[in-house]
């Protein structure tokens, strides 16, 4: 009887030990997954930049008393992360400006559609993810002039030209799915006028998927 009791006690202890080991393994696995999560933003990313300022530096949009060289900057991009450092980006970026003086109104929309590579510089505290990105664009420009509501030029769409851009900043991770990108950028292109210039933009990113 004592032998049976001892055997049952040993079996019970083994069961408790096994359950504890399994629990410890789950804790370790969860910790490793959390560490992996904190080192990157995910596999897929869609970013909208909608709070932006842009300044054209060429002088092509500046006339005495009439300045279309400053406007708002926006972008939309999708990125695929090969690993925690390198992303392939499809980037749409542009700037718009309009001004009216004595009934004469000018409007400019310029930018580009292209692809690029982003290099993520690592993680600061698991929340800040600095980066730098280079892009090649098909640059375009559209402008209109009107007086008292009557079109002078119509819509002038120039043929695309080769352009490039560089942008860099930081993604501030708010959670597993959402981060806030804040970046500075430089855009170069000459579809007709020189649309080159610099800007700063803030927005929102949606991130999902795992990077092993």
SS3 sequence of 55-86: EECCCCCEECCEECCEEEEEEEEEEEECCCCE
173 exposed, middle or buried (CB, 10 Å; 0-12, 13-18, 19+)?
Answer: buried
Per-residue pLDDT, 72 = 98
Residue stretches of the chain with pLDDT short of 50: 2-3, 6-11, 13-14, 17, 19-35
32 and 10 in one domain? yes
Assess whether 65 and 5 both reside in one domain.
no
Q: Do residues 3 and 31 share a domain?
A: yes
User: Which residue in 97, 107, 96 sits closest to 74, CA to CA?
Assistant: 96
- Given this model, what pLDDT does residue 28 score? 38
> Are 73 and 174 members of one domain?
yes
Q: What pLDDT does 204 receive?
A: 98
Do 26 and 51 lie in one domain? The reply is: no
pLDDT tens digits, residue range 6-17? Answer: 444 444 544 554
Rounded Cα distance between 180 and 170, Å, is: 8
Nearest to 39 by CA among 132, 124, 117: 124
Instruction: Please tell me the total count of domains within the chain.
Output: 2
Looking up residue 111, the CATH number of its domain turns out to be 2.40.160.20
Domain containing 117 equals: 42-208
Predicted pLDDT of residue 157:
66
> Would you state the pLDDT for residue 189?
96
Give the model's pLDDT for residue 13.
42
- Do residues 200 and 103 both lie within one domain? yes
């Amino acid at each position: 009887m004592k032998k049976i009791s001892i055997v049952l006690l040993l079996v019970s202890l083994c069961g408790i030990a096994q359950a504890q080991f399994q629990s410890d393994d789950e804790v370790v696995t969860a910790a490793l997954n959390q560490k992996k999560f904190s080192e990157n933003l995910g596999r897929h990313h869609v970013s909208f930049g909608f709070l932006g300022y842009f300044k054209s530096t060429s002088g092509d949009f500046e006339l005495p008393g009439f300045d279309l060289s400053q406007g708002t900057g926006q972008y939309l991009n999708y990125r695929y992360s090969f690993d925690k450092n390198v992303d392939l980006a499809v980037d749409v970026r542009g700037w718009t400006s309009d001004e009216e003086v004595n009934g004469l109104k000018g409007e400019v929309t310029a930018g580009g559609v292209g692809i690029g590579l982003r290099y993520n510089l690592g993680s600061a505290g698991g929340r800040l993810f600095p980066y730098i990105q280079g892009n090649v664009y098909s640059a375009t420009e559209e402008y209109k002039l009107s007086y008292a509501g009557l079109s002078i030029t119509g819509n002038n769409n120039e043929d695309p030209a080769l352009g490039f851009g560089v942008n860099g900043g930081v993604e501030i991770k708010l959670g597993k799915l959402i981060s806030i990108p804040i970046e500075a950028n430089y855009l170069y292109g000459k579809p007709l006028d020189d649309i080159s210039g610099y800007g700063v933009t803030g927005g929102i990113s949606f991130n999902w998927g795992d990077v092993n």
